[in-house]
Structure formats: structure tokens, C-alpha cells
Amino acid sequence: MDKKFLLDRAARSGEERIFLAHVLDRYEQCRNRSIPVHTGFLSPAEQQSARDLLHAAAIHDGYVFLGGYERAERRMLCFLPQWQESVDAEEHMTLLHCTFCEEGALTHRDFLGSLMGLQITRGKLGDILVTPGSAELIVSNDIAEYLLQNLTAAGRVKLSVTRAALSELNVPELKVKTVRDTVAALRLDAVTAAGFSMSRAKAQELIASGRVQLNYRATLNSDAPVA
């Protein structure tokens, strides 16, 4: 594997190059030591970057993305040695169940801010699912006990935090809106304009400013094809 060639081909920025080099390091550690290895929790954009890298390296198996539940947004990339066929998510992550008395008082931002205040890096945190009166936090196993002892409040609201099995996860109902329209061509500006009820010129302006993502990655070309 020519690491420099792969990174030159896959990375679109210096920051992304560092991230992808870390992914390759984790893959090589798994293969060289024949042990399971995982990254921290990755954003959807990071997951897509990692997939593109692994595809470019002709690595098509021996890894899995795990987030604790089927619809998870943030996921770990787990590399499996040849002797291991599957992996249990609870080997790498823990579900923390938080309850509080003031319904509707807390948001995702409140929990994330409190966790950052405890010096927890984003890579240690999976999805944060907030419902009235409670929240579910999926976290890396190595910080679970620390959070059980130290996560006592979010914002100014006191919390009761307990450990739970991932099978007990309470996933909020996904709210979606179906938009039906006819476009002249399946290109990004036309689909963006139709999907968000704006002019094509406005869609092109947003795309050119890097504010539109296609498959979780900013795309600056208005004529990029959309399937």
C-alpha cells in the first residue's frame, strides 16, 4: 500500500489528510497486530471520506461502521482482524440514560456544551438523543465511568445518569418531509432549488459558497449530478 499516493488521491485538504492518515494507521495496526481496532466516533462527512479512502485502497471488507443503533449518525469505524467475523457494539460503546425534571428545558446543544465543559473530545461522543424529560448519550467505553461520576447537570438543569444496554435505547421518531417536484435535469442546483423552494440562482449562490453538501461533502459545482 502506497500511503502517500492514497492520501494524495483521497484528501481534499490538509485537515482531511491528517484524518485519513489516522484511518490508515488504524487499519495497519489491526492487520499487523491481528487485533480489533477502532477510530473515535466519526461525523457523516468523515465516514464518507473514510469510505472513499478504503475504496481507493481496494479494501472492501474487514471493517464495519457502528453507532449503537441502525439510524445512528455518528459512528465508529471498526477494523476486524481475519479471525473475527463480527463485532458487538457494546465492546466499544456505552449507552448512558439521563433523566431530568424540567421537560423541554434541555436541547442537544445543552448536553454537548456540558460534555465539552468536562473536556470530552467530540470523537468520544456518539449520538445525543434528547426527548422530553430524558436523553440518551452514546459514548466511548473508556469515558463512560467518568461521565457517570461527573456529568451531574446540563446547562442549569440537574441530571440523573445511569448506564443502560444499547438494546434499551429510546430512539425518537424520525421526522421527514417528502417533497415532490419535476426538474429539468438531475443536477445539484435544480434539485436544491426544488427541495428548498428557492430560485435556481439562489441555489447556485449557496452551492458556490460551500453551503450545500452532496453525500455529506461540500460540493461547489452547481452541475454536479444527483442520483
Reduced 3-state DSSP string for 188-212: HHHHHHHHCCCCHHHHHHHHHCCCC
pLDDT (0 to 100) of residue 215: 86
Q: Residues 39-83: pLDDT tens digits?
A: 999 999 999 999 999 999 999 999 999 999 999 999 999 999 999
Helix axes 44-56, 3-10, angle to 10 degrees: 130
Amino acid at position 146, single letter: Y
Mean pLDDT of 132-157: 94
pLDDT band at 118 (very low <50, low <70, confident <90, very high): very high
> Is residue 196 within 8 Å of 202, Cβ to Cβ?
no
Q: What is the pLDDT of residues 152-182, one digit of tens each?
A: 999 889 999 999 999 999 888 888 889 999 9
Calculate Rg over the CA atoms of the chain. Answer: 20
Residue 1: pLDDT above 70?
A: no
Burial of 33 (0-12, 13-18, 19+ CB in 10 A): exposed
pLDDT for res 104: 60
pLDDT band, very low/low/confident/very high, at 151 (cuts 50, 70, 90): very high
Mean per-residue pLDDT over the chain, rounded? 93
Alpha helices in 34-92 (DSSP H): 44-56
- Cα–Cα distance, 103 to 92 (Å, whole number): 31
Instruction: Work out the burial of residue 165: count CB atoms within 10 Å of its CB; fewer than 13 is exposed, 13-18 middle, 19 or more buried.
Output: exposed
Q: Which three cell numbers stand for residue 28?
A: 495497519
Whether the pLDDT of residue 3 is over 90: the answer is no
211-222 pLDDT, tens digit each: 999 988 889 999
pTM to 2 decimal places:
0.87
Q: What is the pLDDT of residues 77-105, one digit of tens each?
A: 999 999 999 999 999 999 999 999 876 67
pLDDT (mean) for 122-143: 95
pLDDT score recorded for residue 12:
85
